[in-house]
Structure 1
Amino acid sequence: MAPDIDSPKIERFESDLALRWSGRVSLTRRILAVNIFALALLAGGFFYLDSYRSRIVDSRVMQANREVRLIAEALRSVPLDQMEPLAARLSRETWSRIRLYAPDDTRLLDSRALGVRNFVLRDPDKQGWDQTAARFLDAVIDTVVGAERAPLYRDRDPDIGSAWPGVVFARENDATRAQVLRAPDRTPVILAFAPLEPGGRVVMTAVNARSITETVRVERFRLSVVLGIVTLISILLSLFLARTIVRPLRRLARAAVRVRLGRAREVVVPRLPTRRDEIGMLARALSDMSLALRARIDATEAFAADVTHELKNPLASLRSAVESLATVKDPALQAQLLEIVRDDVHRLDRLISDISDASRLDAQLSRAQFEEVDLAQMIAALIEVRRARAPESSVTLRFDQADAADMVVLGEGARLERVFENLIDNAVSFSPPGGTVTIGAREEDGWLVVTVDDDGPGVPEEARTSIFRRFHSVRPDAEDFGRHSGLGLAIARTIVEAHQGTIAVESRADRVRGARFVVCLPLVEQS
């Protein structure tokens, strides 16, 4: 297993994307949690209904205070013999039970005794399951919101007024009073007390305000239905969203793990072509990355095999020559064998140097800092150096540069110099004595096109691709064997492609003998 490598840049990048506590929770659960949290905010409507109920109860308490004062005024204004009919009529109109107590706490009248039975408490044991569930929900919400629980209503001795604390309060303080109690079925019971005269008679009203509870429960039921439907839809959408995100991510993760385990050739990373979102982009990027990795692995394996093959030939020749030296006694033959040994050693040295350059080239070019390079000056300098090195050369070098051509490109000068030096060397080596190598340059649609023409035999059309492969070498018949490793054009192509350019070989424009190598590089945009 490869060792972990600490990198400050990676640590900073990961810290920007790090999730503290939620990073330990699966993506599916996080999606569900976010949506359920939004639903929890909607469920807060139940607590709003509790405050709504409190406001209604307060309003009914104020109404009970007003009604009991008006009833007291009305009863005080009529003779005793007319009180009972008036009390019965007021009881029907206000839907309350009216009782009147004398100063000695005896009961003077009771609307129930007069036949008005509009104050009836319901027995919860005789109600259906829906009311039981509603009462349970009321208790849960009251507990959660911390609502104050009203005392349970208990019917006291109807004939004794002092049995009701409100009667005593109204008589002693000459003031009205109202209080809220709780019926057995959790509906509010509102009691109100008012004196008819200071220290004298007291009227008492009792109302079972079931309409408040019914209104709140109806709204709560509607909200529950809405919340249930929204919850179901939200969970289904969350699961759908998690399915469309998590499942492809898991497939991609499994494929990436298999690639990491060295099974890149067996793995088919799903490309998800029908998806046009970020997941699809990620899938296609990972697929392209795995294909590039597979191609890189194949190239590395092929390169290693080619290196082994190329090294075996000079090594075999070298071993044969060395073994023969021990048995050969002829000085001339020994000198010939030593010459073979020197040639093989030079060939190995040249081959190893080229292999080293080729193996490090991609990494070095990826880190290179490109600068503006004037290729006109570079090519002219290469030609002058070659003329000075071989003034008696039978091959003529000519540089044809368009007058208006701007030959400034972005790149690494040393690498580009190696490309054109290699092309010029090849052209000279294939050109016959008295031949001409022509280097041309022109600007074409924002590209710099450099051509190298020779008078050699040319490159067959079927070999115009293979000559750029590593260790593929086609040399002139007159050249000594082993002078070239077959990596020159492969290195040139790698350098040109790293500069966002192209290199190719074609027939000369005049269709005469010879080959034309064409290098295209992007020109620097002029400001």
Structure 2
Amino acid sequence: MARVTDSPRSDDRALTLRWSGQVSLTPRILAVNIFALALLAGGFFYLDSYRSRIVDFRVAQSSREVRLIAEALGAVPPAQRDALTLRLARDTGARIRLFDARGRQTGDTRALGLRNFVLLDPDKEDWRQTSARILDAVIDTVVRAPRAPLYREVADESEWPDVHTARTAAGAPATVWRAPDRSPVITAAAALPTGGVVMTTVNARDITQVVRIERFRLSVVLAIVSIVSILLSLFLARTIVRPLRRLARAAVRVRLGRAREVVVPRLPSRRDEVGMLARALSDMSLALRARIDATEAFAAEVAHEMKNPLASLRSAVDGLNSVRDPELQERLLAIVRDDVHRMDRLITDISEASRLDAQLSRAKFEAVDIGAMIAALLDARTARGIERGVEIRFDRKPGASLIVMGEGARLERVFENLIENAVSFSPDGGLIAISAVIEDDDLVVRVEDEGPGVPEEAREQVFRRFETLRPEGEEFGKHSGLGLAIARTIVEGHQGAITVESREDRLSGARFVVRLPLVDQR
């Protein structure tokens, strides 16, 4: 049996959202997926590292080539040097310049007719190249890539740091420059064995082209993934947000109460959490409507039940003003007292019935011994005296554990109502038999009387509010018609059931059966 306990007024703090709870689901879903795309876009910045590694490799390659060129030129006679220089320039794709020991330029493959080193004018390129350069500049700015010095043609040796370094120190220094179209230019120099310096200049435009091609491919992939991701995000938001908005609008209509019947979509085709929420809200709205209808019907029934004693009371009070006979006045006063008592009893029962559901939802259930409770009720009832010689017998198995989880005062009210009802319908000298047995995992209490019984067609009616089958000869108004209704509400609030049936011995009378789940003592 599930215990009925107080529920917290607020949700778990782990489920609360801070700033994100102020944003609609659609932009939040898009933001999460766009963030993942931003991580993919980081590949653009990885290409800068890839370009730097290629440039470093080409710088090392230029240093090796210029040393080999210097050794090759130093090994041939001066008359053959120009022809070898042209052949080496064609093979390496570099512009080769020679400087003497004084730093004056003595040879240049461009002067010999080989124009394999050409710088492009960015002003004469189309819009695609211009866009590529702008993108290069933006990415270099974002990643804070070091900016190479601008390449320009000079004739003086002092303007070439590689030549100056090669003359004064060993090795083959190299420098990376920036062409006007942002492609790298690599210069390298090495000392000749016969004196002087040789310098090579290479326009590494292929590095820029490779990086731009990879960037274009990555852009295409990123664009396709972005479109697909956004479409999937919108689809996901549509399948989640739209039904939630429909449910929210329906809930608002239920709250405003502008329509008698508000249809909350149940979304039967959805088997996910949104479908579960829709069906739960639909069931809740139906239960709420049923509760409202029951409340309205109860209010109407209360007004109807109150009219009878009020009308009788008004008539008796009005009669007291015109009647002078003391005996008749006493009879009218007796009617007033009876009506006042009747209204007091009715108001008390109505008050308890109206608060019962709310009180049971907040009740703290404890272990209750039903056998001891019924025995105590019978002792108290016998001490007060039982009218018309009615006898009550309680049968139970000695030592049986008849313990249930519940609220003792409420359960006591159930059996007290059943006993009073049985006493009212019992004939003079009749016998009321009460038994308590265990069947399966339930405690079953039966209360049998020898009265007229309950017709089969009225066995549900007797549990309705203000419905009562009065014993023959009983004064009208002695019972409010709420006793059995209160008993059923209490029993069902304890996860049990109460019914009425015929006696198994086929004698006249009614049998009320109460089933309550036993405490699991394993």
Does the 8 Å CA contact 1:374/1:408 hold for their aligned counterparts?
Answer: yes
Secondary structure of 1:500's aligned partner? coil
Would you say 1:484 and 2:484 are equivalent positions? no
Higher relative CO (Cα under 8 Å, sequence separation at least 6) belongs to 2
Would you say 1:101 and 2:99 are equivalent positions? yes
Alignment of 1:27-66 (within 5 A): 27-66=25-64
Would you say 1:436 and 2:434 are equivalent positions? no
* Consecutive unaligned residues in structure 2, runs of 5 or more: 1-6
Q: Compared with structure 1, are the counterparts of its residues 254 and 151 closer, same or farther at alpha carbon in structure 2 (3 Å cutoff)?
A: same
The equivalent position to 2:302 in structure 1, one of 304, 307, 322, is 307
The equivalent position to 1:166 in structure 2, one of 162, 166, 169, is 162
- Aligned twin of 2:353: 358
How far off is 1:14 after superposition?
6.9
Deviations 1:410-464 (A, max 9, x none): 1122211111111111112112223222112221110111111122222122211
Secondary structure of 2:481's aligned partner? coil
Would you say 1:337 and 2:332 are equivalent positions? yes
Would you say 1:386 and 2:386 are equivalent positions? no
Would you say 1:183 and 2:179 are equivalent positions? yes
Stretch moving more, 335-344 or 271-280: 271-280
Does the 8 Å CA contact 1:264/1:290 hold for their aligned counterparts?
Answer: no
- Aligned twin of 1:137: 135
How far off is 1:114 after superposition?
3.3
Deviations 1:250-297 (A, max 9, x none): 222222222222347342222222222222222222222222222221
Does the 8 Å CA contact 1:71/1:90 hold for their aligned counterparts?
Answer: yes
Stretch moving more, 36-45 or 238-247: 238-247
How far off is 1:481 after superposition?
1.1
Would you say 1:265 and 2:265 are equivalent positions? no
What is the root-mean-square deviation of aligned Cα atoms in Å?
2.2
Does the 8 Å CA contact 1:467/1:489 hold for their aligned counterparts?
Answer: yes
- Aligned twin of 1:5: none
- Aligned twin of 2:68: 70
The equivalent position to 2:17 in structure 1, one of 9, 16, 19, is 19
Q: 1: CA distance between counterparts of 2:98 and 2:232? A: 63
Q: 2: CA distance between counterparts of 1:504 and 1:512? A: 18
Does the 8 Å CA contact 1:405/1:441 hold for their aligned counterparts?
Answer: no
Would you say 1:281 and 2:279 are equivalent positions? no
The equivalent position to 1:406 in structure 2, one of 385, 391, 401, is 401
How far off is 1:404 after superposition?
7.0
How far off is 1:225 after superposition?
1.6
- Aligned twin of 2:4: none
- Aligned twin of 1:240: 235
Q: 2: CA distance between counterparts of 1:438 and 1:320? A: 43
Q: 2: CA distance between counterparts of 1:244 and 1:287? A: 19
Amino acid at match of 2:337: R
Does the 8 Å CA contact 2:172/2:190 hold for their aligned counterparts?
Answer: yes
- Aligned twin of 1:290: 285
- Aligned twin of 1:205: 200
Secondary structure of 2:444's aligned partner? strand
Q: 2: CA distance between counterparts of 1:336 and 1:308? A: 27
How far off is 1:140 after superposition?
1.4
Q: 1: CA distance between counterparts of 2:104 and 2:375? A: 131
Deviations 1:294-328 (A, max 9, x none): 22211211111111111111011101110011111
Q: Compared with structure 1, are the counterparts of its residues 10 and 389 closer, same or farther at alpha carbon in structure 2 (3 Å cutoff)?
A: closer
Secondary structure of 2:322's aligned partner? coil
Count residues with an aligned counterpart: 516
Secondary structure of 2:187's aligned partner? strand
Amino acid at match of 2:385: A
- Aligned twin of 1:377: 372
Deviations 1:78-121 (A, max 9, x none): 11011112111211221111111223444332223334332233
Secondary structure of 1:153's aligned partner? coil
Secondary structure of 1:492's aligned partner? helix
Does the 8 Å CA contact 2:451/2:510 hold for their aligned counterparts?
Answer: yes
How far off is 1:10 after superposition?
4.6
Q: 1: CA distance between counterparts of 2:199 and 2:434? A: 119
Deviations 1:465-501 (A, max 9, x none): 1211111121112111111111100110111011110
Q: 2: CA distance between counterparts of 1:14 and 1:419? A: 37
Secondary structure of 1:258's aligned partner? helix
Does the 8 Å CA contact 2:71/2:193 hold for their aligned counterparts?
Answer: no
- Aligned twin of 2:215: 220
How far off is 1:207 after superposition?
0.7
Does the 8 Å CA contact 1:401/1:442 hold for their aligned counterparts?
Answer: yes
- Aligned twin of 1:502: 497
Aligned-pair identity (%): 71
How far off is 1:155 after superposition?
2.9
Amino acid at match of 2:189: F
Does the 8 Å CA contact 2:191/2:197 hold for their aligned counterparts?
Answer: yes
Q: 1: CA distance between counterparts of 2:383 and 2:447? A: 20
How far off is 1:64 after superposition?
0.9
Does the 8 Å CA contact 1:174/1:197 hold for their aligned counterparts?
Answer: no
Stretch moving more, 73-82 or 124-133: 124-133
Secondary structure of 1:150's aligned partner? coil
Q: Compared with structure 1, are the counterparts of its residues 174 and 131 closer, same or farther at alpha carbon in structure 2 (3 Å cutoff)?
A: same
Q: 2: CA distance between counterparts of 1:10 and 1:507? A: 46
Secondary structure of 1:326's aligned partner? helix
TM-score (normalizing by structure 1): 0.92
Stretch moving more, 188-197 or 76-85: 188-197
Amino acid at match of 1:425: E
Would you say 1:195 and 2:207 are equivalent positions? no
Q: Compared with structure 1, are the counterparts of its residues 201 and 297 closer, same or farther at alpha carbon in structure 2 (3 Å cutoff)?
A: same
How far off is 1:390 after superposition?
2.3
The equivalent position to 1:79 in structure 2, one of 71, 77, 96, is 77
Deviations 1:33-58 (A, max 9, x none): 11111111111111111011011111
Does the 8 Å CA contact 1:178/1:190 hold for their aligned counterparts?
Answer: yes
Secondary structure of 1:313's aligned partner? helix
